[in-house]
């Protein structure tokens, strides 16, 4: 690179001399531009890694953050980084979110190429990162601990969105514009009373707003139910659709409401279309009637097509294909057996055969009992369904018994007609007092001497809430076990691919909380987590780092250097102390931590005293210390285009200060090295410090004053 720069400089010199010849003929002198003078000065520097004093810091590694894909192309990025640095760190592509697919498989193809490219260039790789809360495939991780949902079997159901009975002062679901309200008496409780003393120019000058929490969607069905009244007859008022109270969208929502001077209940359904979609508010326009309006028991519902509506649930059934007789029996006069196979209904399987040998004094002297496990309750609905036939025509009553032989009522499912052909019988009944508390249907067979046949007996009850999905949650211990196994699988997979070449790892990244720097970060209570955030510690507890470091030892090489890494340690000294204390905790649990990384995303006006204090605290740990992600913006977030020469010189000075203080305050035996996180200035479209001149080179790969400051800091000159 040094020789290329000299060739370029020579070409510029030839052109400059040619210009001088021409200008001498005109006796006109042109001074050399300051920018060219400065670039000549910067071009005199050698490649950056040549300034590392290898004798004073033999283990020091000068690193660069890179795009794995760009480096793997082996083009300009590859040449530039490989000539100036000892080590590379992939910015994203070695993280969980980049490797783990939504189905849990892991794609290491890019990492394998990265290792090969770095090895070819003679550079080491700093692995980044094994356990972090960001850049995770959170969709997959949350999925493996998500509740098991067994879909419901019911149909659509009406789900309440808003219900207002005005019995308390909670007005979060309604408001009023253009008038005031009081409360009146209704049905032993309160109702909302609104007085409109005079007709307004527009009916919407007086409005009652009723809100609900979810926006309407085209194609949905909604229902409005409420009790209404007005002081006089002949009153009506329209309903509008509003996005929110006062944000009008459409003139008609639930049609026109026509109350009378007596309380009445109205119920109106509407289908949401484009004109009423994206709304959360019903507006009642009350301004054209001089009257007192009253409202009570307002309810807004929507028809959830997957809401788990009511179902007919089977409570007892038997097709008599097995000898299981747990839900049926007969008395002594009912001689039971089975037909031959193939003699059941439609020639399939077998049927239950019951012989009544003679006409009995009472029809109940020959009885067949069919039972179910739970006693009936008043108001429930039951269905009896079965296939029947007999050798002679017969009419068989059904009795309700609390248990077999414990008679309660003479009629349960009415009369069953038997003929010599198979007949499908279905009868629904509503449980009353006289059939409640029963678990048995008794078939009275004694009135006719014949052989009866039963097949496919099914008893069902109408379950109002039976169609909803069944949700099975994992216990906290089950979640912990699952996530521990996943962390193990992830670390084992990454280290298997990189073992033998990647010998330093950012094992745990950014553990400490900014607001409570002695505590770990957490996602608990945050309902707005980014899509790629997953906090391992929320499931594994404080020992998540202990687990991660032990796994790194288990699956890596014995000589690997294992780091913990965090940011703002030079800004928040308490956070630096909190991280050091956490390292002590991890080691107290038997795990090994070799080093601490400090990211140092700083600015030209960062506090130098705190930087010194941080280095002293880190040095005192005796651990390897790495500046893991050094970059520097101009004070007040100055953009690249607006950075002055003074700004760039201030940046150079601060870069030099940081590098010098690291080499001065961190003992040589603890100096792992420094990584320039963004060697080039950040582009406008970047997700990291966009359009800021944070690098040592500009986007055209020209050295900046920061390059000189960094190099001088390394060399001590």
The CA distance from 180 to 193, in Å, is 9
Q: Domain ranges in the chain?
A: 2-43, 157-304, 311-463
The CA distance from 532 to 102, in Å, is 12
User: In the predicted model, what is the mean pLDDT of residues 308-318?
Assistant: 88
- The pLDDT score that the predictor gives to residue 36 is 63
At 662, is the secondary structure helix, strand, or coil? helix
> What tokens does 488 get?
């193990």
Q: Are strands 624-633 and 595-598 parallel, antiparallel or unpaired?
A: parallel
Beta bridge partners of 156: none
- The pLDDT score that the predictor gives to residue 502 is 97
pLDDT at 263 over 50: yes
pLDDT at 23 over 50: no
User: In the predicted model, what is the mean pLDDT of residues 163-192?
Assistant: 96
- For residue 2, what pLDDT band results from cuts at 50, 70 and 90? very low
- The pLDDT score that the predictor gives to residue 156 is 81
- The pLDDT score that the predictor gives to residue 471 is 80
**SS in 3 state form for 143-181?**
HHCCCEEECCCCCCEEEEEEEECCCCCCCCCEEEECCCE
The CA distance from 259 to 241, in Å, is 20
pLDDT at 26 over 80: no
pLDDT at 7 over 50: no
Q: What percent of the residues of the chain are helix, what percent strand, and what percent coil, each to the nearest 5?
A: 30, 30, 40
Looking up tokens 């039972």, which residue turns up? 371
At 446, is the secondary structure helix, strand, or coil? coil
Q: Are strands 87-90 and 61-66 parallel, antiparallel or unpaired?
A: parallel
> Where do the DSSP E strands lie in 552-701?
561-566, 595-598, 601-603, 624-633, 671-676
CATH of domain 157-304: 2.60.120.260
Backbone angles phi, psi at 136, to 5 degrees: -105, 155
> What tokens does 173 get?
């679901």
- The pLDDT score that the predictor gives to residue 37 is 65
Q: Which residues contact 112 (CB under 8 A, 6 or more apart)?
A: 497
Are residues 677 and 627 in contact, defined by beta-carbon separation less than 8 angstroms? no
Q: Summarize pLDDT for 610-664 with one digit per residue, the tens.
A: 999 999 999 999 999 999 999 999 998 999 999 999 999 999 999 999 999 999 9
pLDDT at 417 over 90: yes
The CA distance from 566 to 509, in Å, is 6
CATH of domain 311-463: 2.60.120.260
User: In the predicted model, what is the mean pLDDT of residues 524-531?
Assistant: 91
Q: Summarize pLDDT for 589-611 with one digit per residue, the tens.
A: 999 999 999 999 999 999 999 99
- For residue 35, what pLDDT band results from cuts at 50, 70 and 90? low
Backbone angles phi, psi at 79, to 5 degrees: -65, -45
Buried/exposed code over 227-252 (b: 16+ C-beta within 10 A; e: otherwise): bbbbbeeebebbbbbbbebeebbbee
């Amino acid at each position: 690179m040094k020789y290329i720069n000299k060739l370029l400089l020579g070409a510029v010199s030839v052109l400059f001399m040619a210009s001088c010849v021409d200008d001498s003929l005109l006796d006109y002198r042109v001074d050399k531009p300051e920018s060219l003078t400065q670039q000549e000065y910067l071009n005199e520097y050698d490649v950056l890694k040549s300034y590392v004093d290898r004798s004073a810091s033999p283990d020091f590694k000068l690193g660069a953050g890179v795009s794995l894909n760009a480096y793997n192309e082996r083009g300009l990025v590859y040449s530039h980084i490989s000539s100036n640095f000892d080590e590379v760190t992939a910015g994203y592509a070695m993280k969980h979110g980049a490797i783990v697919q939504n189905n849990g498989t892991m794609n290491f193809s890019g990492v394998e190429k990265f290792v090969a490219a770095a090895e070819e260039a003679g550079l080491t790789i700093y692995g980044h990162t094994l356990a972090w809360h960001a850049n995770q495939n959170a969709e997959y991780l949350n999925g493996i601990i998500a509740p098991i949902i067994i879909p419901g079997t019911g149909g659509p159901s009406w789900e309440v969105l808003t219900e207002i009975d005005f019995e308390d002062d909670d007005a979060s679901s309604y408001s009023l514009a253009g008038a005031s309200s009081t409360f009146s008496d209704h049905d032993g409780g309160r109702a909302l009373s609104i007085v409109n003393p005079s007709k307004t120019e527009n009916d919407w000058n007086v409005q009652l707003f009723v809100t609900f929490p979810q926006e309407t969607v085209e194609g949905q069905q909604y229902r409005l139910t409420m009790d209404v009244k007005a002081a006089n007859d002949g009153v009506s008022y329209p309903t509008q659709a509003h996005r929110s109270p006062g944000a009008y969208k459409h003139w008609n929502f639930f049609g026109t409401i026509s109350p009378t001077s007596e309380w009445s209940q109205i119920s109106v359904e509407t289908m949401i279309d484009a004109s009423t979609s994206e709304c959360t508010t019903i507006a009642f326009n009350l301004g054209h009637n001089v009257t007192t309006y009253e409202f009570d028991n307002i309810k807004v519902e929507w028809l959830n097509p997957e809401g788990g509506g009511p179902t007919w649930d089977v409570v007892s059934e038997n097709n008599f294909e097995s000898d299981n007789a747990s839900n049926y029996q007969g008395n002594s006069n009912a001689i039971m057996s089975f037909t031959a196979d193939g003699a059941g209904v439609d020639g399939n399987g077998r049927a239950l055969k019951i012989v009544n040998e003679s006409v009995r004094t009472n029809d109940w002297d020959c009885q067949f009992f069919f039972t179910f496990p739970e006693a009936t309750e008043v108001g429930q609905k039951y269905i009896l369904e079965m296939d029947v036939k007999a050798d002679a025509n017969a009419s068989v009553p059904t009795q309700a018994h609390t248990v077999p032989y414990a008679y309660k009522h003479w009629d349960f499912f009415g009369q069953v007609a038997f003929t010599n052909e198979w007949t499908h019988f279905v009868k629904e009944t509503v449980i009353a007092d006289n059939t409640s508390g029963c678990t048995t249907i008794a078939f009275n067979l004694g009135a006719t001497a014949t052989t009866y046949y039963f097949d496919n007996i099914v008893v069902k009850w109408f379950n109002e809430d039976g169609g909803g999905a069944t949700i099975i949650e994992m216990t906290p211990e089950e979640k912990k076990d699952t996530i521990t196994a996943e962390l193990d699988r992830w670390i084992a997979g990454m280290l298997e691919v990189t073992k033998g070449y990647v010998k330093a790892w950012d094992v745990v990244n950014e553990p400490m909380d900014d607001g409570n720097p002695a505590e770990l970060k957490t996602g608990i209570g945050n309902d707005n987590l980014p899509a790629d955030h997953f906090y391992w510690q929320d499931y594994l507890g404080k020992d998540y780092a202990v687990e991660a470091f032990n796994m790194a030892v288990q699956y890596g090489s014995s000589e690997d250097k294992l780091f913990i890494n965090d940011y703002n340690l030079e800004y928040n000294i308490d956070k630096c102390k909190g991280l050091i204390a956490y390292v002590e905790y991890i080691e107290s649990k038997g795990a090994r931590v070799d080093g601490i990384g400090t990211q140092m995303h700083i600015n030209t006006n960062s506090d130098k005293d705190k930087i010194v204090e941080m280095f002293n605290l880190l040095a005192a740990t005796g651990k390897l210390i790495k500046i893991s992600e050094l970059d520097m913006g101009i004070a007040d977030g100055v953009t690249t285009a607006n950075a002055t020469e003074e700004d760039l010189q201030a940046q150079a000075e601060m870069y030099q200060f940081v590098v010098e203080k690291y080499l001065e305050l961190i003992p040589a035996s603890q100096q792992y090295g420094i990584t320039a996180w963004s060697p080039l200035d950040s582009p406008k479209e970047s997700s990291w410090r966009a359009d800021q001149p944070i690098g040592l080179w500009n986007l055209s790969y020209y050295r900046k004053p920061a390059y000189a400051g960094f190099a001088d800091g390394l060399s001590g000159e």
